Chains A and B, each alone.
Chain A
Amino acid sequence: MDTLDLARWQFAITTVYHFFFVPVTLSLVALVAGLQTAWYRTGKEKYLRLTKFYGKLFLINIAMGVVTGLVQEFQFGMNWSDYSRFVGDVFGAPLALEGLLAFFLESTFIGLWMFGWDRLPKGVHLACIWMVVLGTQLSAYFILAANSWMQNPVGFRYNAERGRAELTDIGAVLTNKVVLVTYPHTIFAAFMVGGAFVAGVAIWHLFRRPGTDVGAFRTALRLGAVTVLIAGAGVALSGDQQGKVMTEVQPMKMAAAEALYESEQPASFSIFTVGTLDGSREVFSLKVPYLLSFLGTGSIDGEVKGINPLQESYEKLYGPGSYKPNIPLTYWTFRLMIGVGMASTAIAVWALWATRRGREPNKWLALTALPLPLLPLVANCFGWIFTETGRQPWLVFGMLPTSAGVSPGTTSAEVITSLAVFTLLYGVLAVVEVKLMFRSIRAGLPDVDPEPVADEQALPLSFAY
């Protein structure tokens, strides 16, 4: 493998790994803030205990999200220096905004929330976690704006003399039509992950330890399941919008998602296809007529362009070469994203039904719900793999091929070293984090001491360390 392939592998591995923690963090902090708000308003002890329980799981999770995020920022310069030179004027701005507006907010107020339980007035302490929620949302918006610019570059001009893209309109970058549909889609998808996590943990507790904290965990279960349900609907609706924008700005990605080689009008959506490995010929296919037309264009008989005519037109536009992404990869990740996501929504519906009016979760629900927290997470990852590999061979669509972005001075040995180090380190950390998660989950709801400590200012902090 050459430097380019190694750098791509490293980016894929570190990014997907980082993204294991992102959606959980995004949604869990909001759910914890909601629980704490419920405690603040009702004074019911179960809300406080749930806040502390899920709050600890959130902290374990965000620790990994933060430290792996650092790698993301550094590796643009380390492995992709020519990309950084090309896009810095445009892409750097949202990234810098993310640091200044979002990361400071998140990290500072997490510290205040973690350590401020006994030192801040209740209302101020509650406001702290909502500031973290605000920080995570801003962070998601800016980074998605940066990513969306790579999918659909807007608000810039190309400076041939410097060989780089230059920002001309920050407003256009921040209101890129791609980010406007990608942001809600990503956030809803994240809430599916957090909701499934909260519900899955609660079901496990109710089933494994019948009789303990039933009231609190029923609340958590139903909160989580309702979150998955609402977020699932949001994902479907925003995904539909996103499909239309994608068909417009990246028709090749839509064609690749469906392995649609020739343009069709109306186009049908294949749920399952057995074809040759590269997807060029189909052996068996289960199709829903008109669906792809509807997804892509909003009308049931709209034309969806195929890979071959698109390839021809791109060759005219950009010169000879292949402009096709990895078709089997895009085809399957697109389907798995939708399928796995829908499956997790179905489980959430079942969980709500099975626990209606005081019913206890049964064995089948408990078994099915075991993988529940992972399903939307897996769907999220498939979605990202789809959208990023679907952009290939471009780093910046229509502007900068991936092969032109890699650091020219970096050696294979350096990339191999870092790839090996990160893979090993991430593997070890995964084991540590999962063990710690299970341990904290098994420990159950913490007891809360209703009596304030006499000199609580002087004590080391019980909650955090």
Chain B
Amino acid sequence: MELTTVWFLLIAVLWIGYFVLEGFDFGVGILLRVLGRNEPERRAVITTIGPVWDGNEVWLITAAGATFAAFPEWYATLFSGFYLPLLAILVALIIRGVGLEYRGKRDDLAWRDRWDWVITVGSVLPAFVWGLTFANQVRGVPLDAGFEYVGSLADQFNLYAVLGGVAFTAMFVTHGAIFLALRTTDDLRLRANRVAALSGGVTVVLVAGWLGWTLGLRGTVASGIVSALALVALLAGLVANRVRREGWAFAGTAAAIALAVTSLFVAMWPAVLPSTLDPAWSLTVTNAASTAYTLKILTVVAAIFTPLVLLYQGWTYWVFRKRVMVAA
């Protein structure tokens, strides 16, 4: 396989890993005030993601870093073109991270309440904006002959992309609710289960509509099949949630997110950032890529260290596998 294709796949894998992992901690953050009715409950909700959210976020840092290294043109055009959405994501992730770390550092209910709001906002904003950004990426953006973004911010708020943002958010909320049902006990677990069923219904409609629209815009047979599988996984997850098989339910939403994001990458390939002005001006895996030498080095390093990272991140989830109880 061409190294450019390998790196297209690897970057897709990094984004998938990011959305599957940070997806549930965004969901947990969004539901913090919905499911956590008092301080002990909120503390339990936060504790479910406490040991892992920071590691989840590194998937983003690595996805961005790998894009910079493997496809500098893609990185440069995407990040400068989506300047304000990315600024919003940065601000959200900054306040959210500080909130998660600082809320418990003072024994003061007002202090914690304020940070809980920050965590909620900091979780919903990136969920939506990532959906918006990815939708625009698949749809294509106005790129000129020099691969420079020539559109405006208003262009990025087209109906299709906004729907993408909403669909992403809904997926993460459901994913997070199921994660909470999986990781808590008693009343909290029951309520999380119910919220998952509720938001799950909405999510199915939104995701089906949005993936269908995506197929109409830029679909292939392969991306159509993957999209369909995403929906099947989502439905299976919701059924498992219904019968309180929470592990299977979580696997279902995780697979649904992974497949949905895969379908976007499949639909784009071999473009990484299609141009709406002239297909010839699209950034592709070939014209955006680094040299074969750089890609070779990156491949060797990734081949050695990615399994290692998966191993010790997996171990973290194993260490903290016990359900979190609400403190009496």
Contact = CB atoms under 8 A, between A and B. Distances in A.
Given A104-B62, A111-B316, 16 more contacts: A81-B76, A85-B73, A88-B73, A88-B290, A90-B294, A92-B68, A95-B65, A95-B69, A96-B65, A101-B301, A108-B54, A112-B316, A168-B293, A410-B83, A439-B105, A460-B43
B215 to A, nearest CB: 29
Given A104-B55, A417-B84, A84 B68 contact: yes
Given A92-B69, A93-B294, A99-B62, A108 B312 contact: yes
Interface of A: 56, 59-60, 63-64, 66-71, 73-74, 76-79, 81-82, 84-85, 87-93, 95-101, 103-105, 107-112, 114-116, 119-120, 164, 166-168, 170, 407-410, 414, 417-418, 421, 425, 429, 432, 436, 439-440, 457-461, 464-465
B297 interface: yes
A95 B101 contact: no
Interface stretch (B90-98, B173-181, B197-205, B228-236): B90-98
Contacts of B58: 99, 103-104, 107-108
Contact of B98 (A56, A71, A429): A429
A63 B313 contact: no
Contact of A107 (B55, B68, B84, B98): B55
B102 A63 contact: yes
A92 B294 contact: yes
A443 B322 CA distance: 31
A425 B83 contact: no
A78 B87 CA distance: 9
Contacts of B3: none
B50 A465 contact: yes
A107 B75 contact: no
A249 to B, nearest CB: 23
Interface string B296-328: 011001100110010011001001101111110
A66 B302 CA distance: 23
Interface of B: 40, 43-44, 46-47, 50-52, 54-55, 57-58, 60-62, 64-66, 68-73, 75-81, 83-84, 86-87, 90-91, 93-95, 97-98, 101-106, 148-150, 290-291, 293-294, 297-298, 301-302, 305-306, 309, 312-313, 316, 319-320, 322-327
B319 A119 contact: yes
B61 to A, nearest CB: 5
Given A77-B76, A88-B72, A104-B313, A425 B95 contact: yes
5 shortest A-B CB distances, which residue pairs? A88-B72, A77-B79, A92-B69, A99-B62, A465-B104
Contacts of A464: 50, 104
Nearest to A60: B105
Most central of A410, A458, A460 by chain B CB within 10 Å = A460
Contacts of B91: 421, 425
16 contacts: A67-B97, A68-B94, A87-B72, A96-B70, A99-B64, A100-B305, A108-B58, A111-B52, A114-B51, A115-B320, A170-B297, A425-B91, A458-B324, A460-B40, A465-B43, A465-B103
A464 B62 CA distance: 26
A108 B87 contact: no
Contacts of B104: 464-465
Contacts of A439: 105-106
Contact of B93 (A67, A92, A408): A67
B225 to A, nearest CB: 31
Contacts of B148: 408-409
Given A88-B72, A111-B51, A166 B294 contact: yes
B327 A459 contact: yes
Given A111-B55, A436-B106, A88 B76 contact: yes
A457 B68 contact: no
Contacts of B75: 76-77, 84, 88, 92
A76 B77 CA distance: 11
Given A76-B68, A77-B75, A108-B55, A101 B305 contact: yes
Given A70-B94, A111-B55, A92 B70 contact: yes
Contacts of B319: 112, 116, 119-120
